[in-house]
Amino acid sequence: MDDVPQRLTVKPSWLITQLAVHTRRLVSDGFAAAGARGYHYRILAALHEFGPSSQALLGRRCRIDRSDVVAAVNELVELGFVDRIPDPEHGRRNRVTLTEAGLRQLHRIDGVLDQVQDELLKTLSATERQTLTNLLSRVLAQHEPS
């Protein structure tokens, strides 16, 4: 970073932005290699952790726009990673559930993301990685909508 103005390199906001660009590339490449997309991972992870869900609730939990949730769920249904059936308790709502194939895909993507984390943070010790995660979580939490 010798050719970058020093006043930029001392600003956490600039550093975070630069790292986000690099991270996004690594994650996108990893997802592509696993035949997945970021929205797929978020939805599969939410279904695994919280169980069957409406598409609207998935959107809120995963921070995905409603129309993007519908498109991603459609793709996941076509791939056999989720099932979508009408919710018996609410006629206009769909209930989305994780399939066994979806669980296997989630585990594959988890492995890919573990490799991405290792590549991204290879210069940090395990303790430093945990500290970074904790600090980023604290900063992000203060900006979460209430």
Write out pLDDT tens, residues 14-51. 999 999 999 999 999 999 998 899 999 999 999 999 99
88 — phi, psi (to 5°)? -65, -20
Write out pLDDT tens, residues 72-103. 999 999 999 999 998 888 878 889 999 999 99
pLDDT score at 90: 80
pLDDT score at 76: 97
pLDDT at 138 over 90: yes
Average pLDDT value for the chain: 94
The CATH architecture to which 11-141 belongs is: Orthogonal Bundle (1.10)
68: amino acid identity, one letter: D
- Tell me how crowded residue 30 is: count the other CB atoms within 10 A of its CB: 20
Q: How many CA atoms lie within 13 A of 98 on its CB side?
A: 21
Structure tokens at 6: 């020093």
Record the pTM. 0.87
Distance of CA 71 to the CA centre of its chain: 16
Write out pLDDT tens, residues 95-137. 999 999 999 999 999 999 999 999 999 999 999 999 999 999 9
pLDDT > 70: percent of the chain: 99
- Classify 72 in phi/psi space as left (phi over 0), alpha (psi -120 to 50) or beta: alpha
Spatial distance between the Cα atoms of 23 and 51, rounded to a whole number of angstroms: 29
Q: Given pLDDT bands bounded at 50, 70 and 90, which one contains residue 146?
A: low
Helix axis angle, 100-120 to 38-50, nearest 10°: 120
pLDDT score at 5: 93
Specify whether the CB–CB gap between 96 and 54 falls below 8 A: yes
Specify whether the CB–CB gap between 53 and 47 falls below 8 A: yes
Residue range 61-70: mean pLDDT, rounded: 94
Q: Please provide the distance, in angstroms rounded to a whole number, between the alpha carbons at the two ends of the chain.
A: 38
